[in-house]
Amino acid sequence: MTDASTGFDADAFVLRSEAVTPGGVNSPVRAWNGVGGHPVPLASAKGAYVTDAAGRTYVDMVCSWGAAIVGHAHPLVVEAVQRAAERGLSFGASTEAEISLAEEIRARYSPAQRVRLVSTGTEATMTAVRLARGATGRDLVVKFAGCYHGHSDGLLVAAGSGLATSGVPDSGGVTAAIAAQTIVLPYGDDAALTDAFAEHGARIAAVITEAAPSNMGVIEPPLGFHELIASLCRNEGAVFILDEVLTGFRAGPAGYWGVERDAAIARGVEPWVPDLVTFGKVIGGGLPVAALAGRADLMEQLAPLGNVYQAGTLSGNPVAVAAGRATMSLLDDGLYRNLAELSDQMVDRVSGALTDAGVSHAVGRAGTLASFFLGLDATPRDFDEVSRQDTAGYATLFHSMRDSGIYLPPSAFEAWFLSAAHTPVDIDRVGDAVGAWAAANR
């Protein structure tokens, strides 16, 4: 069908894209396999809105999977990128700007004593695991079902995100030998974790977890879970890797770790501290920047100081770093207060609309992050419980919301992302659109 005003032919685009690119997409989370239909390509984005190639504009609830925290094409960020581009796109040598970004990350997030910039979250977690193995001389890694840590082989076992959406438990191409080095446990299960250490303690190099799971929908970490990971790792000589690629500088000013640190201080308890942390998404503000950070003595085992190798032609790329620095410069207390208020309002309006129409649902929340699980009557705690949600219901919600001008994640297993450019009026539109769908579906 050809759009009258833009001349965009959606059917022709599907054929064209699928003829040259597997599934028509460069990342499976962009496909609409979980909701049905074919993605309409986006053409531009500004503030809280995205516009597709057919010329329709939507309130954006994806925000580049969290990266667009200050809204799309923020003038300060665009200007910083333009200025950096004029000075050269890539040098393959150090710049002062990349050191400034690393200092900025450390200033906000104290466990990040040393910071190594990379280009993707996948590289950050992959390198963190390699560093943990190098530092401990051990082979096993513990991860939790439904947590996504990027697509390196050993971390693709029982991962969430696109694998959850497409119902694929594990990726093909991951050898049995590699999968055997990953121990997968149910999320938040203290006993399973303690048992795993009792059985394999001397072989466990690392425990990796999302700071707050957000790639199977949002799950609030149970009280004491991270303290337990930290103490088991400390006592057994393993490395605690906290994956803040999504939550970092989004769930709160110091990521989800900061949320728990502040809560611990308020309770008069010593806060737990991760050994290694990974960042991505927000720290690049929409360009490819990610980071591996953590304890100085561990981080200094990376090359060129130590014998754990890691490298990248585009690591600390000056244009990407400019976007990250400009974005970070906008992240102040006021912005986080605003995000928290918008998040509260979204939960009130969406959950209220569903409740009014008698649609059973649960809400997952962690810091400023939130997601909605249709068909559940209790807040899910792990991947098994999340998997019982009504994904067919979500598919009809997704399309109904699109018709109402709201662009939701094309999967029931994702957070609904907000930016500082969203306003209460946008959230009202989201609430009204959910209400319209719920009224038609009760």
Ligand X SMILES: *Cc1c(COP(=O)(O)O)cnc(C)c1O
Q: Indicate which residues carry an active-site annotation.
A: 148, 243, 281
Smallest gap from Cβ 47 to ligand X, in A, equals 23
Q: Give the Cα separation of 294 and 296 in Å (integer).
A: 6
Which of helix, strand or coil describes residue 17?
Answer: helix
**Residue (64 or 400) nearer to ligand X, CB:** 64
Give 156 or 408: the residue with its C-beta nearer to ligand X: 156
Query: Rounded distance, CA 442 to CA 428, Å?
Result: 21
What DSSP string runs through 81-142? Answer: HHHHHHT-S--SS--HHHHHHHHHHHHH-TT-SEEEEES-HHHHHHHHHHHHHHHH---EEE
Q: What are phi and psi of 49, to 5 degrees?
A: -120, 145
Cβ 311 to ligand X shortest distance, Å: 17
Give the nearest distance from C-beta 126 to ligand X in angstroms: 9
- Separation of alpha carbons 418 and 427, rounded Å: 9
The terminus-to-terminus CA distance of the chain in angstroms comes to 31
> Closer CB to ligand X, residue 125 or residue 371?
125
Least Å distance, CB 129 to ligand X, is 12
Distance CA 361, CA 374 (A): 4
Helix pair 318-329, 75-86: axis angle to 10 deg: 150
User: Minimum distance between the CB of residue 148 and ligand X, rounded to whole angstroms?
Assistant: 5
**DSSP code at position 252:** S
Residue among 60 and 414 whose Cβ is closer to ligand X = 414
User: Which of 160, 435 has the CB closer to ligand X?
Assistant: 160
Q: Taking a C-beta distance cutoff of 8 angstroms, is the pair 371, 213 a contact?
A: no
Q: 155 or 433, CB closer to ligand X?
A: 155
Binding site for ligand X (CB under 6 A): 120-122, 125, 148-150, 210, 215, 243, 245-246, 280, 290
Strand, helix or coil for residue 247: coil
Beta strand pairing call for 361-366 and 369-374:
antiparallel
Q: Which is nearer to ligand X, 121 or 367 (CB)?
A: 121
* Minimum separation from the CB atom of position 244 to ligand X (A): 7
Q: Which residue is nearest to ligand X (CB)?
A: 121
Q: Where are the beta strands (DSSP E) in 340-402?
A: 361-366, 369-374
Q: How far is the CB of 161 from ligand X (least distance, A)?
A: 7
> Which strands form 204-210's sheet, in the order they lie side by side?
114-118, 290-294, 276-279, 239-243, 204-210, 140-144, 182-185
